[in-house]
A and B are shown apart, each in its own frame.
Chain A
Amino acid sequence: MEASRSAQALLGGGGNMRRRHAINRAVEVSCWTAALLAVAVLAIVLVSIALKGAGEINLDFLTQNTSSFGVGGIGNALVGTGILIGLAALMAIPVGILIAIYTSEFAGRRSGFVIRYVLDILNGVPTIITGIFVFALLVVGHQQSGWAGAVGLAIVMLPLVARSCHEVLTLVPGHVKEAGLALGASRWRTTLSVTVPTALSGMITGALLAVARAVGETAPLLLVTSIYPDLLVTDPSQPLPNVTVTIFRYSETPDPVKHAQAWGAAFILILFVLALSIVARSLSARMRRRLGAAR
């Protein structure tokens, strides 16, 4: 009988308790190790790029044009990547936001589900396939161009923008949307004046993360904007020099100077992506605080 046993015997923990503690400990340690591994991989990548690339960074490196021989820079590649990303963002972000508004505010249950599913598939398409698709569509029979590269990057960005904006729009509480409708605002007016402003910082986060993802893409550019001169090109109807293809090109050469410059370009790229992620994080934290108060 329980009552006849001492409290010590009931609470002290026998062999079974010891086994359960051991399992608990083992699971905890393996989860912790796995998490540490992820952090370690990122740290190793960052540190090795910084060690090998940071030394290359100087004004000439950032302003000189790319070159096939000897010391040059990545100035024209930075400009070209800026143009490519800018054009891709102009194509993907407005369309992505409109898709998100449709799927979160207007679509029926079934059509919303289908569109989100299609976006998820699009997001999973390997980017080299996207590159081949754009190559076949815009380059075959014409020539390589910045436009084609921007379309490729936009295809990569579109599902990311649409899905992340959809998620934050659905985070806006229903009772806030109802307040707009009950005040005599039509559905689109409520969306524009109430729902979108409430979710805005989260939507910007989504857009920034999509930019951060696209800026590092090489595959969609490799087939469509890779044969460029070592000059500053700003006309998107011509192939535009860009950072990722430059990294690829430089690391393929036998020249150790170029290898070092590829590391330098990689360092610049990863700094940019890190900075974007940090800005995006802080914006999304702001939105969560605001929504936390509205719940």
Chain B
Amino acid sequence: MDYEPSDVTVVDRKDEITSRIPRPAEAPAPASPPQQSSETPASGLEQMHATRHIRLEDLHAYYGSNHAVKGVNLSFEPGKVTAIIGPSGCGKSTMVRCVNRMHEEIPGARSQGRVLLDDVDLHGPGVDVVAVRRFVGMVFQKANPFPTMSIFDNVAAGLRFTGTPRDEITDRVNAALEAAGLWDEVEGRLSEPGMSLSGGQQQRLCIARALAVEPAVLLMDEPCSALDPVATLKIEELIGQLKQRVTIAVVTHNMQQAGRVADTTAFMLSGELVEVGPTEKMFTNPDDERTEQYVTGKFG
């Protein structure tokens, strides 16, 4: 971690999004941060440093006429894990899916408001949705490796989508598997199908796949809800290790999990953000009565 995030990198990565404005139809650009990957292709991931800030401003999301997220203002700080808790159907998944614009993939779904990556509105005109997803990675509730691909190809998939030079791919796949804590378990059998791994390993494979393209932000939508306690623990440890490298937001309906992994916790109810604060305070001395009722198990 001898890498100092400089203003130069900040400007460059932002430009990479906005520079797509005049030519949104072009093929995906070559590898991510040019100066990082060209100087040290093998260790780009290790040198990554969470510097990006996500800020939701008055975010509304709809499914047809159903108003699922109602004017949320919330920040995901770099170097910290933000947990979003709340009962099922409160809009927490919908909210994070607005950040990487996966929400708009659903027919009839739309959103309003701003999602700022530093000071660029990801929903702004001319911002390319493909570029947004390169900067904001996502891990889903259900581990979803590509069924036809090997372990290696799963992690390489995102790099290939973005046209990473062939000779860089192996190093970056290995680095991503290492970062996802999976390397020791899969070394020597990278050509086996991704589906041959256990559930917890598959989820870490999906984390490796998301990390391989070196995103600035990682959204995790209930990443452990389909896993057993041991696999869950591994993912939680991993979140703790990764938070220095990438800005992380975790959606969870498991309050204990939020308590274990998050620095900041946000509580949502019926599409509204009820309260956000340091995790410790949220669980011991929340300001809002509804938060207290939820964290003490009175409902949800």
* Residues of chain A whose beta carbon lies under 8 Å from any beta carbon of chain B: 108-109, 173, 175-176, 178-186, 189, 193-194, 197-198, 200, 290-291, 293-294
CA distance A193 to B209 in the complex (A): 15
| Partner among B130, B137, B147, B213 whose Cβ is within 8 Å of the Cβ of A176 | B147
Contact check, B107 vs A184: say whether CB atoms are below 8 A apart.
Answer: no
CB nearest neighbor in A for B107? A109
Say which residue of A108, A180, A182 sits within 8 Å of B146 (CB atoms). Answer: A180
CA distance A194 to B209 in the complex (A): 14
Are A182 and B195 in contact, CB atoms less than 8 angstroms apart?
A: no
Interface set, chain B 124-146, CB cutoff 8 A to A: 130-131, 133-134, 137-138, 140, 142, 144-146
Query: At the interface, yes or no: B261 with Cβ under 8 Å from chain A?
Result: no
Q: Which of B131, B137, B162 contacts A182 (CB 8 A)?
A: B137
Task: Jot down 22 A-B pairs with beta carbons below 8 A, ordered by A.
Answer: A109-B107, A176-B144, A178-B144, A182-B102, A182-B133, A183-B137, A183-B158, A184-B158, A184-B162, A185-B130, A185-B157, A185-B158, A186-B28, A193-B157, A193-B161, A194-B148, A194-B157, A198-B146, A198-B147, A198-B148, A290-B147, A294-B147
- Residues of B with C-beta under 8 A to A178: 102, 105, 140, 144
A57, B138: Cα distance in complex, Å: 62
Q: Which residues of A are found within 8 Å of B146, using beta-carbon distances? A: 176, 179-180, 194, 197-198
Query: Given the known A-B contacts A176-B146, A189-B161, A194-B146, are A184 and B102 also in contact in the complex, defined by CB atoms under 8 Å?
Result: no
| Nearest CB on B from A86, distance (A) | 28
B: interface residue count bin? 20 to 34
Contacting pair B144 A183 (CB below 8 A): no
B157 adjacent to A183 (CB under 8 Å): yes
Given contacts A186-B130, A198-B146, contact A294 B157 (CB under 8 A): no
Separation of A285 and B47 alpha carbons in the complex (Å): 46
Q: A184-B134, A193-B157 are in contact. Are A293 and B142 (CB under 8 A)?
A: no
B210 interface contact, C-beta 8 A = yes
- Is B206 close to A, CB under 8 A? yes
| Residue ID in chain B nearest A196 by CB atoms | B148
For B102, B148, B149, B160, which residue has the most chain A Cβ atoms within 10 angstroms?
A: B148
B213 to chain A, nearest CB (A): 7
Please name all residues of chain A whose beta carbon is closer than 8 Å to the beta carbon of B142 when the two chains form the complex: 175
Taking CB atoms, residues of chain A closer than 8 Å to B131 are 184
8 further interface pairs, Cβ-Cβ under 8 Å (given A182-B137, A193-B157, A294-B195)? A178-B144, A182-B102, A184-B133, A184-B161, A185-B157, A189-B161, A197-B146, A198-B147
Contact yes or no, B213 A293, CB < 8 A: no
Residues from chain B with a CB closer than 8 A to the CB of A173 are 144
Given contacts A184-B213, A198-B147, is CB(A179)–CB(B133) below 8 Å?
A: no
- In the complex, how many residue pairs between chain A and chain B have their CB atoms under 8 Å apart? 79
Q: Which residue of A lies closest to B209 (CB)?
A: A183
Question: Which partner residue on chain B sits nearest A200 by CB separation?
Answer: B148
Closest to B105 in A: A181
| A109 CA to B107 CA, complexed, in Å | 9
Task: Judge if B174 is at the interface, Cβ distance under 8 Å.
Answer: no
On chain A, the residues within 8 Å of B134 by CB distance are 184
If the complex has contacts A176-B146, A293-B147, are A184 and B130 also in contact, measured as CB distance less than 8 A? Answer: yes
How far, in whole Å, are A185 and B138 apart by their CA atoms in the complex? 13
Q: Is the CB of A175 within 8 A of B158?
A: no
In the complex, whether B264 has a CB less than 8 A from a CB of chain A is: no
B100 within 8 A of A: yes
State the CA gap A178–B133 with chains docked (Å). Answer: 11
Q: Would you give the 0/1 interface string for B151-183, flagging 1 where the beta carbon is closer than 8 Å to chain A? A: 000000110111000000000000000000000
Residues of A with C-beta under 8 A to B102: 178, 181-182
Most B CB contacts (10 A, CB to CB) among A173, A186, A197 go to A186
Which 8 A-B residue pairs are closest in the complex by CB-CB distance?
Answer: A184-B133, A184-B134, A183-B158, A182-B138, A294-B147, A185-B161, A197-B148, A179-B144
B133 engages A291 (CB within 8 Å): no
Contacts of A189 in B (CB 8 A): 161
Chain B, 15-54, contact with A by CB distance < 8 Å: what is the 0/1 string? 0000000000000100000000000000000000000000
In the assembly, what is the distance between CA of A192 and CA of B142, in Å?
22
Min CB distance, A283 to chain B, in Å? 14
Complex Cα distance A179/B209, Å?
10
- Within the assembled complex, what's the spacing in Å between the Cα atoms of A274 and B143? 39
**How many Å lie between the Cα of A291 and that of B148 in the bound state?**
9
State the Cβ distance, B232 to closest chain A Cβ, in Å: 19
Q: Which residue from chain A places its CB closest to the CB of B141 in the assembled complex?
A: A175
The answer to whether A184 touches B140, judged by C-beta atoms less than 8 angstroms apart, is no
> Which residues of A are found within 8 Å of B137, using beta-carbon distances?
182-183
| Interface 1/0 per residue, B89-108 and A, CB below 8 Å | 00000000000101001010
A128 to B88, CA, bound (A): 57
**B66, chain A: closest CB distance, angstroms:** 17
Q: Smallest CB-CB separation from B215: which chain A residue?
A: A184
Closest Cβ of chain A to B96, distance in Å, is 11
Contacts of A180 in B (CB 8 A): 146, 157, 161
Tell me how far the C-beta of B20 lies from the nearest C-beta in chain A, rounded to whole angstroms. 12
